Amino acid sequence: MKIQKDKLIIMTTVFIDVVGLGIIIPVLPFYVESFGVSSFIVNLLFSVFALFSFVSGPFLGALSDRIGRRPVLILSIASTALGWFVFASANAVWVLFLGRIIDGAAAGNFPIAQSYLVDIAKDEKERTTNLGIIGAVFGVGFIIGPFLGAMLSTISPAFPFWFVGALALLNMVGAFFFLPETHHNRTVSEQKIEINPFLPLLRAAKDKTLRLRYFAFFLYGTAFALMNGIFSLFVKELFGWSASVIGYLFAGMGIILVFNQTIFLKKIWLKYFTEKQLEVWFFPVMAGSFLLMDLKNPTLFILGIILITFSQSTLRVVLSSAIAKAGGANRRGEVMGTAASIIAASMIIGPLVGGALFVRNLHWPFLLSAVLLLVAFWLAKKCCENEKISQPEKVEVMG
């Protein structure tokens, strides 16, 4: 089937991106260590990609609205391949940064892939289900990536990055020959596409339809990024668990994520709840998960991990779906790119704040995450109430 082939290429694109991210976790510190740099430089390499993703996200999304999804997606995949090849062939620290900058400067894969799957959706339910597919692929890639990185690194520290670059190159060839354009109702706008990433964000802040949801999305991303930066240190400090146990935890979270996106999202969440209910009430569930993880009890900690994986993966899908719907067909790439930029900004800010708080008190980052999510809950509730007042909609049980 045509749509199945389209989805397969998009899923492959996201999968390669996530596998690359997963490979970084066990391999990058050891690879960078051979250049004689400090741990600060290692963390900076993570941040520089997020920074350039923040810069490029809105621009690439708006460009895909103007010229189509296909050419921008192919350009983005090519950038990923080139970035990994440069990173793998580095003979100096500045070349390592150059590789991450090249990848981040055209890191439109994820938001454009989301826009693509929204374009081919026949209705709202399929739109949300398609976005859930990306989440499931993300989970599978995050399970496979760390194991694959550890295995390939036995050949050489740089080999995993050559491998991912080659996968991205093959993916680009497949997209070039087999991926059709889906955004056909393009309008030629006289307005210039801004290069400055802050201008689309300022316009978004003035958008009465989207600004509350954007802010809630930012708080969601920051709360989760706060945990990502200090998770391993927290677990080691509180429970004395080893690196291998932490690896199993990440793999378990990936399995839950896949299970949630492939089964629960369609069979439970979208069947028995509306998207607005999911968007609002998973925020306090996620906040409660952080509080459980912050207690000095390993059983409650594991329970918190399970709940947070269900809640964060569902929230990301329904928030992305709501943003895509609000943007409409002609602005979908722009708003999805802006959402990706917001998440990139949270990935820059979250680890920095989490690390600073962790030095003072190891419990503070999780408490702050819970507070941010409760604020996001209030914003999401207010946003949905405003939409209900401005445009009453018929409640429909999704089967």
pLDDT above 70 for 119? yes
Would you state the pLDDT for residue 376? 95
Phi, psi of 350, deg, nearest 5:
-55, -55
Query: What is the mean predicted confidence (pLDDT) over 81-94?
Result: 93
Which percentage of the chain shows pLDDT scores above 70? Answer: 85
The tens digit of pLDDT for each residue in 37-58 reads 765 676 677 778 888 877 777 6
pLDDT above 50 for 3? no
79 with 218, same domain: the answer is: no
C-alpha to C-alpha distance for 309 and 136, rounded to whole angstroms: 12
Query: What is the mean predicted confidence (pLDDT) over 77-99?
Result: 92
Would you state the pLDDT for residue 155? 86
221 with 340, same domain: the answer is: yes
C-alpha to C-alpha distance for 342 and 353, rounded to whole angstroms: 16
Whether 151 is covered by a domain: the verdict is: yes
C-alpha to C-alpha distance for 37 and 177, rounded to whole angstroms: 42
Would you state the pLDDT for residue 59? 77
Would you state the pLDDT for residue 255? 84
Would you state the pLDDT for residue 194? 60
Query: What is the mean predicted confidence (pLDDT) over 329-347?
Result: 77
Structurally, how many domains does the chain consist of?
A: 2
Query: What is the mean predicted confidence (pLDDT) over 222-250?
Result: 78
User: Tokens at residue 328, please?
Assistant: 């409409």
pLDDT above 70 for 399? no
Would you state the pLDDT for residue 392? 45
5 with 150, same domain: the answer is: yes
207 with 165, same domain: the answer is: no
14 with 133, same domain: the answer is: yes
C-alpha to C-alpha distance for 33 and 39, rounded to whole angstroms: 8
pLDDT above 90 for 219? yes
Provide the CATH number for the domain around residue 357. 1.20.1250.20
Question: How far apart, in Å, are the Cα atoms of 332 and each of 15, 63, 112?
Answer: 22, 11, 9
pLDDT above 90 for 85? yes
Whether 64 is covered by a domain: the verdict is: yes
Whether 300 is covered by a domain: the verdict is: yes
In the structure, what pLDDT confidence band is assigned to residue 86 with cuts at 50, 70 and 90? very high
The tens digit of pLDDT for each residue in 148-177 reads 877 787 888 889 899 989 988 988 888 888
Note down the domain range covering 14: 1-174
